[in-house]
Structure 1
């Protein structure tokens, strides 16, 4: 199964391409509504199937349907405005009352936010009659009645009664009961399939970013397990799904089946342009007893708020893509609590991000100090390394590498120690990459020239579309790229220059690498760019403080000289293994040279 990694196509191509070039050289040379209609208050609800009166007989499975035969009724509370269509007896429109969708002309969230609307979603139960013909409830005309917070939809298929009962519950729930009577006279295979077609319209600024966060989500194994798929097809022939949902960046539509869905499969297609982000189809079998379908379902139309999702106790919180394993835990138990604490003090979102960056830097300060101390030590022994390069200029690369490692060993410099800070910052980098574009509380929060910290800022408009970049330039992305470049220049002084003709200058490649961040961040959440800008700016300040006020290079040089005079330490297992491998490789080179 291919799963969403949170990157859009352009970001993947630009970032991975440049990364492969850089790391390729390093490894080679150095060893991802319908319109609302008024409801007749005089109508009486049909709540008991056995007492409900059948509506007009459907003599054939594809009757001629006129506009006058389609009716719409609605239920509404403080959170949802739900409309139901007599065609198919299905939910035709769902508005989340407290939220707004992005309006491109106004460049802000001003439009009503609909999940279902304008025929973008349809669902129904598909049966096969005794003659082998297939019919679906979404093609039938139902008779609607409203009673309080309940809508009853009823239809007749060749004498069989199909009844849907919808109840608008608390929170963002719509109860959905299915009852049939006489269906056993029509079908005999004991099978019913729930079919759901859902075309997702964009609600956020930035089509590419929203599309990458639009995907299937489903729970199984008695609500204990979760999976998702963001690109291709889903196929679960063995698992019983407790619920199936389609999520967008900040909102989701989920249907739960008390009896579960079996033999589930789905497909998704992503149009290149237009108002539809993705097209989803789902097909899952539901249980029938005695060739009658009597089962309870529940629809959830909800914002992806972590506290809300967890309150259902159905593993819905996994819908929020905070990252796998340790990455997700880092967001759930560190970054989200810190963000919630700081915002509770009334601090603006942009400054909350600023403070989060400082807190993260303080926590990482011990390993960062070791990293910069190692950098200073490498700078001090640069003359000795240059001597080795000159001495072994005409020797093979293996001998030169062995001599270089000997210098490092005598000086007490452990090159591998510099890898630890980088390794520690990788999960933090990815956790925040997941945190900023998916934090509902950040949605619509402005900061300086960024109108929404979960979307890119596009103050600088371009007259044309530049591949991998788009039709704008993000100021935060540009600023972040500049500070990363400055930081790279300040830290690349210890990098060796090519000693052999034809070898690439790694310094040049290191300077090119930061430019990839412009392509990577230009269409990403501006909150993410702002965080990386502050983080790298602080790195520069830390380097300067360490260089001029903390570390004394003369003392470091004296320490290195003293290390040289000491008796060499006993060779460790790792060093011994590395030396033996290098010697073996050197012998193989000699043999090949003789041949």
Structure 2
């Protein structure tokens, strides 16, 4: 088998493995969520906690966020990385902006708004409350009292409300230096009889502005159930389940909604097994979705107090922050980033990039440095590959004779070729190893550049202002001089063009396949990949271009170490030239 043919086969096989794996796993091992035992889908609505503007359907008139914020009394939130407010009507956390992340590259761009009030186009809020039996519980229109005006890491805020019989409900909110809000829910039974209560928490959002759920990157409902991260359900699945919902019982680690870069999640109280917590994802209409955690019913005696502590994460999916929370006890919290099948490789790659960035100060230069590190580690393998290529090239004349001798007996031809490989100690598959090693590296880097919020809006040099976005310059519109945006298919940036050229040069340095079909395939492959790479992140294009340049340099050096390969290539080139001249002379004679 020709070395180049192995390359092509390796690419196709790896593509099937990489891109078909997730589909296959979803087909053969579909999710089988459990029903919440003893909790009907309508119970939460009947409790009143989930009765909110836009729960069942979006209001006919969408209010601006500013108007919605001005319609109620609020407790301000002012923390190092977030700012916003808590709505005293319903005790909702429905106003939160991320100070360190902006909407666009413009330095004056507003910060990312993660949470918004109900009835706005970006509706997304969290709420904590209770279900009750024989006790009046607070509703979504309940107006709470606050003991302070601003929630900061140094000053927790307690909201309180008492029902008509004097039983008191308290929610103490505290916030840390990152994105975690803790809600301590207390029920004080000042009545004369026992009362049954169930603390709960919910996240309600519209998916109208949600990121698209892609087959390589999950966006939508997410959580950890039964000690496993669950990416199996998207918004369509929940919409199909409707108000009954998709439910999980026992050992709920956390539950919420994810976008590519952002996460809102409820984390139940820290228990050994969380057997008393149930989770549910439900749909209200076509665009409103809700994630819920519900605790077991607790009987609270007269004069007694019952307290439950839950947490709300609302922020950016920064790897180091998520891993810190995971180390603090939140199960598999770093899995909120959908690293996929190659997470064992993607996560270390991210940490290497992040470490290089801290020393270099530029993610583009960090990517280049990582290319040198990876190519250096793979250099011994590259040497073996070239040795194998030299062996294969040396036996090409013998292989050609076998092919001509047994051209009408393919089975015999294959047997003789295999015998030749054994005799000459040549391995036609040895050249595939570097390709197979490069594929997980490439795919892992794709995931890192696509998912890592740390790469978002990070510049390189010159026209590359965002390494997580495609190369913006294209010769189609004279690099922006002509004021029009070309179709995506034709919007080929400078970096993809460099990728195509360097890959073409790389193929030119390699021995050409004997098979004319393979020659044609490899002659057009660089230009096809140029188009394929155009929509990818500029950081990935940069990695591939630099890797190709280093490969060319390695090939030049290794050819100098294996002169027999170069000599053989020169002989074959001469033979091809003579064959071409002969055919031209025959054609001229016939003409």
Normalising by the residue count of structure 1, what TM-score does the alignment of the two structures yield?
0.68
Q: Deviations over 1:484-513 (max 9, x none)?
A: 34434544613534xxxxxxx244344455
2:395 to 359, 372, 381: 381
Q: Deviations over 1:314-351 (max 9, x none)?
A: 34333334454xx4343444x34543443343453222
Task: State the alpha-carbon separation in 2 of the partners of residues 380 and 194 from structure 1.
Answer: 71
Task: State the alpha-carbon separation in 2 of the partners of residues 554 and 485 from structure 1.
Answer: 19
Task: Describe the shift of the 1:520–1:231 C-alpha distance in structure 2 as closer, same or farther (beyond 3 A).
Answer: farther
Comparing 92-101 and 524-533, the one that deviates more: 92-101
User: What is the number of equivalent residue pairs in this alignment?
Assistant: 481
**Is 1:84 aligned to residue 86 of structure 2?**
yes
Q: CA deviation at 1:207?
A: 7.2
2:109 is paired with a residue whose SS is strand
Task: Describe the shift of the 1:481–1:440 C-alpha distance in structure 2 as closer, same or farther (beyond 3 A).
Answer: same
Contact 2:48 2:140 in 1 (8 A): no
Match of 1:151 in 2: 157
Q: CA deviation at 1:296?
A: 0.9
1:493 is paired with a residue whose SS is coil
Stretches of structure 2 that go unaligned for 5 or more consecutive residues are 1-7, 17-21, 23-46, 55-66, 239-245, 478-483, 569-591
1:146 is paired with a residue whose SS is coil
Q: CA deviation at 1:413?
A: 1.0
**Is 1:402 aligned to residue 404 of structure 2?**
no
Q: CA deviation at 1:90?
A: 0.7
Task: State the alpha-carbon separation in 2 of the partners of residues 424 and 211 from structure 1.
Answer: 20
Contact 2:254 2:265 in 1 (8 A): yes
Task: State the alpha-carbon separation in 1 of the partners of residues 500 and 351 from structure 2.
Answer: 29
Match of 1:114 in 2: 113
**Is 1:553 aligned to residue 564 of structure 2?**
yes
**Is 1:70 aligned to residue 75 of structure 2?**
no
**Is 1:102 aligned to residue 104 of structure 2?**
yes
| Aligned pairs for 1:415-426 within 5 A | 415-426=428-439
Q: CA deviation at 1:361?
A: 0.5
**Is 1:456 aligned to residue 456 of structure 2?**
no
Q: CA deviation at 1:538?
A: 1.6
Match of 1:265 in 2: 280
1:420 is paired with a residue whose SS is helix
Task: State the alpha-carbon separation in 2 of the partners of residues 514 and 554 from structure 1.
Answer: 23
| Aligned pairs for 1:507-522 within 5 A | 507-515=519-527, 517-518=529-530, 520-522=532-534
Match of 1:214 in 2: 219
Match of 2:535 in 1: 523
2:299 is paired with a residue whose SS is coil
Q: Deviations over 1:70-129 (max 9, x none)?
A: 2222121222213011232110111222332226xx5x7822122112542134467667
Contact 1:371 1:418 in 2 (8 A): yes
Contact 1:309 1:317 in 2 (8 A): yes
1:442 to 452, 455, 459: 455
Match of 1:296 in 2: 309
**Is 1:320 aligned to residue 317 of structure 2?**
no
Normalising by the residue count of structure 2, what TM-score does the alignment of the two structures yield?
0.68
Q: Deviations over 1:270-305 (max 9, x none)?
A: x9xxxxxx9653233223311797311122234333
2:556 is paired with a residue whose SS is helix
**Is 1:390 aligned to residue 394 of structure 2?**
no
| Aligned pairs for 1:177-326 within 5 A | 177-181=184-188, 191=198, 194-199=201-206, 212=217, 214-220=219-225, 225-229=228-232, 231=234, 233=237, 235=246, 237-258=248-269, 260=274, 262-266=277-281, 280-290=289-299, 294-312=307-325, 313=327, 314=330, 315-324=332-341
Stretches of structure 1 that go unaligned for 5 or more consecutive residues are 1-17, 27-31, 33-57, 272-277, 498-504, 558-595
Task: State the alpha-carbon separation in 1 of the partners of residues 266 and 221 from structure 2.
Answer: 12
Task: State the alpha-carbon separation in 2 of the partners of residues 289 and 92 from structure 1.
Answer: 28
Q: Deviations over 1:398-448 (max 9, x none)?
A: 222112222222222111222322222232222222222333443322123
Contact 1:350 1:527 in 2 (8 A): yes
Task: State the alpha-carbon separation in 2 of the partners of residues 187 and 386 from structure 1.
Answer: 92
Contact 2:91 2:159 in 1 (8 A): yes
Q: CA deviation at 1:366?
A: 0.9
2:309 is paired with a residue whose SS is strand
Task: State the alpha-carbon separation in 1 of the partners of residues 567 and 486 from structure 2.
Answer: 52
Contact 2:253 2:268 in 1 (8 A): yes
1:301 is paired with a residue whose SS is strand
2:292 is paired with a residue whose SS is strand
Match of 1:345 in 2: 359
Task: State the alpha-carbon separation in 1 of the partners of residues 490 and 89 from structure 2.
Answer: 42
Task: Describe the shift of the 1:62–1:264 C-alpha distance in structure 2 as closer, same or farther (beyond 3 A).
Answer: closer
Q: Deviations over 1:190-235 (max 9, x none)?
A: 65654322236869xx9788993534443456xx654444746485
